[in-house]
Amino acid sequence: MDKVALTAAGLYVIVLLRAGGTFALGWLAGAGARRSRYAERIPAAKLERVERAIQRWGAPVVAVSFLTVGFQTAANFIAGTMRMPLRRYLPALFIGGAAWSLIYATAGIGVLRLLGRLFSEHMALGVTGVAVLVLAVCGVVVARRRSAAREAERDTVADES
């Protein structure tokens, strides 16, 4: 079995367990989902947007959510809270999870090969590339945290008035 297929298979198992677990948490949380500790991690506006999309389009929203960042967890959780029937949810999970694992496996292997070649041929360029990647990830994390903090502050101010 080649590296991409093995990586994709491993990622597929991981996504099935993670997304299926998120769906199960939503299912178990049921009506109290918006009051749960888990729901506090997802902004209310995002939950409402996902719920509207699932109500309108159903299982295809869950399948397509695997091609997004951030929307995937909310879609699986809301599908669970809305008690989407397993006969509709599971095909969406299997198709979306397969797409996700193939994309991440091929992109991941490609990035690792590129980094390996950079390090072997141009050590300084490889180190610079890794440093830029780490800084970019840190920048995204800091920006998201600041945005979430500003949003929480706005919600607090709105609740007080």
Domain assignment present for 121 = yes
- Alpha carbons within 13 A on the beta-carbon side of 110: 6
Q: Which domain holds residue 120?
A: 112-153
Name the band, by pLDDT with cuts 50, 70 and 90, for residue 116.
confident
Domain assignment present for 118 = yes
pLDDT of amino acid 39: 62
Domain assignment present for 135 = yes
The shares of helix, strand and coil residues in the chain, as percent rounded to the nearest 5, are 90, 0, 10
Residue 2, judged by CB atoms within 10 A of its CB (0-12, 13-18, 19+), counts as exposed
Radius of gyration of the chain (CA): 19
Domain assignment present for 81 = no
Instruction: Write out pLDDT tens, residues 139-152.
Output: 999 999 898 888 88
Domain assignment present for 64 = no
- Report yes or no on whether pTM surpasses 0.75: no
Give me the mean pLDDT over the 87-101 stretch: 92
| 74 Cβ contact partners less than 8 Å away, ≥ 6 residues apart | 42, 46, 47, 50, 65
Domain assignment present for 1 = no
Residue type, 31: A
Instruction: Write out pLDDT tens, residues 55-71.
Output: 778 888 888 888 887 78
Domain assignment present for 149 = yes
Domain count, the chain: 1
| 80 close to 23: Cβ distance less than 8 angstroms | yes
Domain assignment present for 116 = yes
